[in-house]
Amino acid sequence: MELHKVNLTQARFVETAFMETFDFIFTLAFSPDGKYLVTGSVNCGIIIWEAKSGQRKFDLKGHVDWIKSLSFSPDGKWLASSSDDRTIRIWDITTKECCKILEGHSDYINALAFNPDGSLLATGDQKGRLILWDVNKGTLINSFQVPVLEICSLVFHPTSNLLAISGTRPEIYILHTETGTITNTLHGHTHRIWSLALDINRGILASGSEDHTIKLWDFETGTCLRTLQGHTLGIRSVAFNPSGELLASTGFDQTIRLWHTSTGICHRTLQGHHNWLRTIAFSPDGQQLVSAGDDCTIRFWDVHSGHTLKTINGYSNRIISLAVNPRKGVFATANEDHSIRLWETENGKHTKTLRGHTNWIWDIVFSPDGQRLISIGEDLTIRLWDPDTGECLKIIVLRTSYCDYWARSIAVHPDGNTIALGDEGCLLYTSPSPRDRTRSRMPSSA
């Protein structure tokens, strides 16, 4: 690529953007030595980045659904990942290999945590089931049903067998991992608690809730020490810096706030993301903060100045087809991950993801009045969507007898009542009723 008449001699690259390929990021983690940053996203991928440069080093592949949680063992030997595919994988970062696959959950796995010596791994799913695993053997030690509808976060006490559990209920449950008994219940929040974090130096537990507040607790006694207020929407992630003097929080208001834990004062608000934030982490030296979320960017922040050091922009999937709504400021993309995404044309903001196809989506088109979106996929289905709600209104199942090959293009008659499909050898006309179809052979010279 050549840039004509561009002079960069006076340029200041305080904020650097790197284009990469990934999707909404649910979780990230630093390796204990600070060398690597690891991210997990909805495209089933785990990406290993060089933390200092932001360079993508390699990917870990194996999961077949969204990556929900990542955690390094305290010695940095293992990386654990949990997914909506209902498995946990233990990875060796040095060899880039998956060493163990842990199976036992019957629902999406949202949270995981190593105990202080790295011998035990706790995992929690959306049905409130907690499982304890022997990391070295890869075997299930015990499982418990905890009184939450969905486990969102897990944190071990630094010196005992206690485990803090949060989820869809406004309470935090302290569980003794050897007996499986709930030893304490922390009350104070009024809504779901998305995230827990621990200051290992003082044994202080932080909780971030959908009620827009953060609370600091004495882990052992369960006493609420302080409530931090300032966010205008739910808080998705909280993290202490290594010294415990600062707490970072972020969430659905698209901001990051840095708090002095001794005073509860928010001394800085970081802005730059353009969609929900789901995860944050301090570097092991405490000099940088990394954030990521639904705007498909990873941002590295200087903790002392609040400046963005670098930004990695990404979009994970090839766009196979695109359609513009003729009546509204919306366009749709059909993506390689079998999803359809809706975007605002004015600002490029992603608004909805439509899922249902089980294979590639070859073509999408809006109805003339803009009230419906129609898609056709390699899964031999036509789907009729409401673009306002994202609901799939109708599924028409095609049979190979209708066409010689998979139908790959679609068009809607101006009256909105007839759909034309085309494959490599025929045209198929269909009404919204799956029974009303006609077929015609294309001339060989066409």
Q: What is the pLDDT of residues 33-46, one digit of tens each?
A: 999 999 998 778 89
Tell me the three state secondary structure of residue 234.
Answer: coil
Report d(CA 324, CA 321) in Å as an integer.
11
Q: What is the pLDDT of residues 361-409, one digit of tens each?
A: 888 888 888 899 999 888 888 899 999 999 999 998 876 444 444 556 6
Q: What is the gyration radius of the CA atoms in the chain, in angstroms? A: 25
The runs of H, that is alpha helices, within 298-346 are: none
Indicate the DSSP class of residue 63: -
Whole-prediction pTM: 0.69
Residue 171, pLDDT above cutoff 70: yes
- Token pair 């006309």 is at which residue? 429
Q: What is the pLDDT of residues 183-192, one digit of tens each?
A: 999 999 999 9
Identify whether the C-beta of residue 185 lies closer than 8 Å to the C-beta of residue 167. Answer: no
pLDDT at position 115 = 94
* Structural domains of the chain sorted by starting position, each given as residue range(s) with its CATH number in brackets: 17-314 (2.130.10.10), 319-441 (2.130.10.10)
Per the structure block, which two tokens stand in for 47? 């990406």
| Nearest alpha-carbon partner for 37 in 318, 253, 306, 309 | 309
Report d(CA 327, CA 198) in Å as an integer.
50
Give, for 395, the enclosing helix (H) or strand (E). Answer: strand 392-397
Question: If you average pLDDT over residues 276-286, what whole number do you get?
Answer: 89
Q: What is the pLDDT of residues 212-267, one digit of tens each?
A: 999 999 999 999 999 999 999 999 999 999 999 999 999 899 999 999 999 999 99
Written in H, E and C, the secondary structure of 255-298 is: EEEEEECCCCCEEEEEECCCCCEEEEEECCCCCEEEEEECCCEE
